[in-house]
Amino acid sequence: MSNWPGKFVIGLTGNIATGKSVVRRMLEHLGAYTIDADALSHRAYAKGAPGYQPVIDKFGKWLLNKDGEIDRVKLGNLVFNDPEAMNELESIVHPLVRQATEMLTQRATQKVVAIEAIKLLEGELRTVCDSVWVTNAPEAVQIQRLISKRGFTQDRAVERIHTQSAQSAKVALANIIVTNTGSFDDLWKQVSAAWKEIVPGASGETTETGISKQEVAAALATTASTGFAVQRGKPKSSAAIAELITRLSKGKRAMTAETVMESFGDKAYMLLQLDGKLVGLAGWQVENLVTRTTDIFLEEHINPQKALELLIKEVERASSELQSEASLIFPMNELAAQEELWKQLGYERRTPETLGVQAWQDSAAEALSSGSILLFKQLRQDRVLRPI
96-136 pLDDT, tens digit per residue, is 999 999 999 999 999 999 999 999 998 888 999 999 999 99
Of 175, 205, 235, the domain-final residue = 205
On whether both 96 and 236 belong to a single domain, the answer is: no
Q: Is pLDDT above 60 for 213?
A: no
Q: Residue 59 — pLDDT band, cuts 50, 70, 90? A: very high
Q: Is pLDDT above 60 for 388?
A: no
Residue 215 is predicted with a pLDDT of: 53
Residue 206 is predicted with a pLDDT of: 45
Residue 321 is predicted with a pLDDT of: 95
User: What's the rounded mean pLDDT across residues 41-57?
Assistant: 95
- Is 22 within the bounds of a domain? yes
On whether both 30 and 171 belong to a single domain, the answer is: yes
On whether both 19 and 160 belong to a single domain, the answer is: yes
- 293: containing domain: 213-378
Q: Residue 202 — pLDDT band, cuts 50, 70, 90? A: low
Residue 222 is predicted with a pLDDT of: 52
- Is 384 within the bounds of a domain? no
On whether both 294 and 198 belong to a single domain, the answer is: no
Residue pair 306/295 in contact by the 8 Å Cβ criterion: no
On whether both 325 and 271 belong to a single domain, the answer is: yes
- Is 130 within the bounds of a domain? yes
On whether both 185 and 74 belong to a single domain, the answer is: yes
Residue 133 is predicted with a pLDDT of: 97
- Condensed to tens digits (0 to 9), the pLDDT of residues 305-318 reads 999 999 999 999 99
Most confident of the following: 118-127, 154-163, 318-327: 318-327
Domain with 97 in it: what CATH number? 3.40.50.300
Q: Residue 351 — pLDDT band, cuts 50, 70, 90? A: very high
Q: Is pLDDT above 70 for 57?
A: yes
State the pTM of this model: 0.90
- Residue 134 to residue 1: CA distance in whole angstroms: 19
User: What's the rounded mean pLDDT across residues 287-305?
Assistant: 95
Query: Beta-carbon neighbour count of residue 15 at 10 Å?
Result: 24
On whether both 190 and 293 belong to a single domain, the answer is: no
On whether both 44 and 166 belong to a single domain, the answer is: yes
The fraction of the chain above a pLDDT of 70, given in percent, is: 92
Q: Where is pLDDT greater, at 8 or 215?
A: 8
The fraction of the chain above a pLDDT of 90, given in percent, is: 80
Residue 220 is predicted with a pLDDT of: 46
3-state secondary structure the chain: CCCCCCCEEEEEECCCCCCHHHHHHHHHHHCCEEEEHHHHHHHHCCCCCCCHHHHHHHHCHHHECCCCCECHHHHHHHHHCCHHHHHHHHHHHHHHHHHHHHHHHHHCCCCEEEEECCCHHHCHHHHHCCEEEEEECCHHHHHHHHHHHHCCCHHHHHHHHHHCCCHHHHHHCCCEEEECCCCHHHHHHHHHHHHHHHCCCHHHHECCCCCEHHHHHHHHHHHHHHCEEEEECCHHHHHHHHHHHHHHCCCCCCCCHHHHHHHCCCCEEEEEEECCEEEEEEEEEEECCEEEEEEEEECCCCCHHHHHHHHHHHHHHHHHHCCCCEEEECCEHHHHCCHHHHHHCCCEEECHHHCCCHHHHHHHHHHCCCCECEEEEECCCCCCCCCC
On whether both 94 and 19 belong to a single domain, the answer is: yes
Domain with 331 in it: what CATH number? 3.40.630.30
- Is 141 within the bounds of a domain? yes
On whether both 114 and 164 belong to a single domain, the answer is: yes
In degrees and rounded to multiples of 5, residue 136 shows phi and psi of -135, 145
- Is 383 within the bounds of a domain? no
On whether both 134 and 152 belong to a single domain, the answer is: yes
Q: Is pLDDT above 80 for 55?
A: yes
Q: Average pLDDT over the chain, rounded to whole?
A: 90
Indicate the number of domains in the chain.
2
Q: Is pLDDT above 60 for 216?
A: no
On whether both 339 and 253 belong to a single domain, the answer is: yes
